[in-house]
A = this chain, B = another copy of it.
Amino acid sequence: MSAGKPDTAEPLNLGSLAAPDGRFRAVEGGGAASAAGFRAAGIHAGFRRDPSRLDLGLVVSDTPAACAGVFTRNVFCAAPVIVDREHLGGCGYGTARALLVNSGTANAATGPRGLEDAYRMAALVAEGLGCPESEVMVASTGVIGVHLPMERFDTGVPQVIAALSDRGGADAARAIMTTDTHPKEAAVCFDGDSVGYPGCTFTVGGMAKGSGMIMPDMATMIACITTDAPVAAPDLHRALRATADCTFNKVTVDSDTSTNDTCILFANGAAAPGAQPFAPDGPAMQAFRQALLQVCTTLARAMAADGEGATKLVTVRVAGAASEADADAAARTIANSPLVKTAIFGHDANWGRIAAAAGRSGAAFDQGDVSIDIMGIPVCRGGLPVPFSEEEALRRFERPEIELDVHLGAGNHATAVFTCDFTHDYITINGDYRT
A interface with B by C-beta (< 8 Å): 73-77, 106, 108-111, 143-146, 212-213, 215, 254-259, 336-339, 342-343, 345-346, 348, 350-353, 355-360, 363-368, 370, 380, 382-385, 422-424, 426-428, 430-435
Select from chain B the residue with minimum beta-carbon distance to A355. B76
Select from chain B the residue with minimum beta-carbon distance to A260. B356
In the complex the two chains form, is B255's CB within 8 Å of A359's CB?
no
In the complex the two chains form, is B356's CB within 8 Å of A256's CB?
yes
Integer count of this chain's copies in the complex: 2
A75-B358, A143-B352, A427-B345 in contact; A337/B256 too (CB < 8 A)?
Answer: yes
A348 CB, min distance to chain B CBs, angstroms: 5
When distances are taken between beta carbons in the complex, the residues of chain B under 8 Å from A348 are: 431-435
Select from chain B the residue with minimum beta-carbon distance to A361. B75
In the complex the two chains form, is A257's CB within 8 Å of B433's CB?
no
DSSP class of A's interface residues: helix, strand, loop or mixed?
Answer: loop
In the complex the two chains form, is A256's CB within 8 Å of B432's CB?
no
New contact pairs (5) apart from A75-B366, A75-B367, CB-CB < 8 Å: A213-B353, A255-B336, A338-B430, A342-B430, A348-B431
When distances are taken between beta carbons in the complex, the residues of chain B under 8 Å from A76 are: 355-356, 358-359, 367, 370, 383
Q: Roughly how many angstroms separate A215 CA and B109 CA in the complex, as a whole number?
A: 30
In the complex the two chains form, is A74's CB within 8 Å of B359's CB?
yes
Q: Roughly how many angstroms separate A82 CA and B218 CA in the complex, as a whole number?
A: 40
A389 CB, min distance to chain B CBs, angstroms: 15
Q: Which of A215, A338, A356 has the most CB of B within 10 A?
A: A356
When distances are taken between beta carbons in the complex, the residues of chain B under 8 Å from A343 are: 430-431, 433-434
Select from chain B the residue with minimum beta-carbon distance to A385. B145
Q: Roughly how many angstroms separate A328 CA and B359 CA in the complex, as a whole number?
A: 21
Q: Roughly how many angstroms separate A432 CA and B345 CA in the complex, as a whole number?
A: 9
When distances are taken between beta carbons in the complex, the residues of chain B under 8 Å from A356 are: 74, 76, 108, 144, 213, 256-259
When distances are taken between beta carbons in the complex, the residues of chain B under 8 Å from A337 are: 254-256
